[in-house]
């Protein structure tokens, strides 16, 4: 079946460090890929998405590239801020599957 595997957390970095959160997937069809962010006590917000191979999603300094050959969608940011502290979820959607499949989430903490 369809599945998403994320890098295990928690991840702790200093402000202005480079961030990578790994995400790989298995899908029976041709998926769309997403990154969501969840701040404490809140729901999930869509951070970025990519719908076809080699597409790059970007938002708020975060980027992720849809790599079909390696079935990956790693999240990156060049210089993190304390306000980026949150839980990040990678997810996929396959047309006709009727539901989004989430990874287990990665908790990110940025220290000043």
The residues of the shown chain that bind another protein, judged by CB under 8 A, are 32, 34, 36, 41-46, 49, 51, 89, 91, 93, 95-100, 102-105, 107
Task: Give dist(CA 1, CA 21) in Å, integer.
Answer: 23
User: Residue 72 Cβ, how far from another protein at the closest point, in Å?
Assistant: 19
**Spatial contact of 76 and 20, defined as CB atoms under 8 Å apart:** yes
Question: For residues 29 and 61, which CB has a smaller minimum distance to another protein in the complex?
Answer: 29
Question: For residues 17 and 46, which CB has a smaller minimum distance to another protein in the complex?
Answer: 46
User: Residue 101 Cβ, how far from another protein at the closest point, in Å?
Assistant: 9
Task: Give dist(CA 33, CA 56) in Å, integer.
Answer: 10
CA end-to-end span of the chain: 41
User: Residue 104 Cβ, how far from another protein at the closest point, in Å?
Assistant: 4
What radius of gyration, in Å, describes the C-alpha atoms of the chain? Answer: 13
User: Residue 22 Cβ, how far from another protein at the closest point, in Å?
Assistant: 16
Question: For residues 99 and 112, which CB has a smaller minimum distance to another protein in the complex?
Answer: 99
83 backbone dihedrals φ, ψ, rounded to 5°: -70, -10
């Amino acid at each position: 079946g369809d599945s998403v595997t994320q890098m295990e957390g928690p991840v702790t970095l200093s402000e202005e460090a480079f961030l990578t959160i790994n995400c790989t997937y298995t899908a029976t069809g041709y998926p769309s890929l997403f990154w969501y962010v969840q701040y404490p006590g809140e729901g999930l917000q869509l951070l970025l998405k990519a719908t076809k191979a080699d597409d790059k999603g970007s938002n708020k300094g975060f980027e992720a590239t849809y790599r079909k050959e390696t079935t990956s969608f790693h999240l990156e940011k060049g210089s993190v801020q304390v306000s980026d502290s949150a839980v990040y979820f990678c997810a996929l959607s396959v047309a006709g599957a009727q539901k989004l499949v989430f990874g287990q989430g990665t908790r990110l903490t940025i220290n000043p």
